[in-house]
């Protein structure tokens, strides 16, 4: 396990006397795909950073062997913690030191009322980074006109608290660097570090 201040998922971190974490938090990708800046999203709430800083992932969709629409995707926890909020299309995991990470599957998907999403956890459940949280069917959503980007947001993060954002840029809103399509990630690959 990393020593305090060297990364980690929140479970092994230290705290100051006032309860504030002294451990950096590595936030992993919940899905495979390509990282894009929040500013590139067609949703002004996420694109403008109103929800918080972070990045989004354009999910990789693999074809099914039978030639049907893309296979279902398993979404994993980005950090260790407790499931604080759980909707079919979104969830929040809160670490032991109180930092909350939002994962939102697609844009406008609340209107699906759960169709195309299967949860594997319940609210209040302790989870580990990389643990399956739910399964979704992005091709079915795309066929209905939904944008599939997956924002990963550090809720209530202070300005400058996120490092190593992929792609580079302040609060994930910068250019995609040398690769205009974004950087490839697999589930669990680091997206950014939330500094203590």
Catalytic residue list contains 89: no
> Own/partner pairs for 141-146, CB < 8 Å, 24+ apart?
141/106, 141/109, 141/112, 141/116, 143/69, 144/112, 146/106, 146/107, 146/108, 146/109, 146/112
Catalytic residue from among 89, 104, 120, 149: 104
Q: What is the rounded distance in angstroms from the CA atom of residue 169 to the CA atom of residue 25? A: 19
Q: What is the rounded distance in angstroms from the CA atom of residue 107 to the CA atom of residue 94? A: 22
Interacting residues of 17 by C-beta distance below 8 A, sequence separation 6+: none
| Active site members | 104
């Amino acid at each position: 396990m990393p020593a305090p201040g060297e990364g980690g998922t929140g479970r092994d971190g230290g705290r100051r006397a006032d309860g504030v974490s002294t451990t950096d938090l590595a936030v992993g990708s919940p899905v495979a795909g390509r990282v894009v800046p929040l500013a590139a999203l067609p949703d002004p709430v996420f694109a403008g950073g109103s929800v918080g800083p972070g990045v989004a992932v354009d999910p990789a969709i693999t074809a099914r062997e039978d030639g049907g629409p893309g296979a279902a995707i398993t979404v994993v926890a980005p950090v260790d913690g407790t499931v604080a909020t759980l909707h079919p299309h979104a969830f929040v995991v809160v670490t032991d030191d109180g930092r909350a990470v939002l994962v939102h599957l697609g844009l406008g998907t609340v209107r699906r009322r759960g169709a195309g999403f299967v949860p594997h956890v319940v609210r209040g459940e302790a989870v580990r980074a990389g643990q399956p949280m739910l399964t979704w069917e992005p091709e079915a959503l795309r066929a209905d006109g939904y944008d599939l980007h997956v924002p990963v947001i550090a809720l209530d993060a202070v300005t400058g608290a996120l490092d190593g954002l992929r792609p580079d840029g302040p609060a994930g809103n910068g250019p995609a660097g040398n690769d205009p399509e974004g950087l490839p990630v697999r589930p669990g690959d680091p997206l950014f570090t939330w500094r203590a």
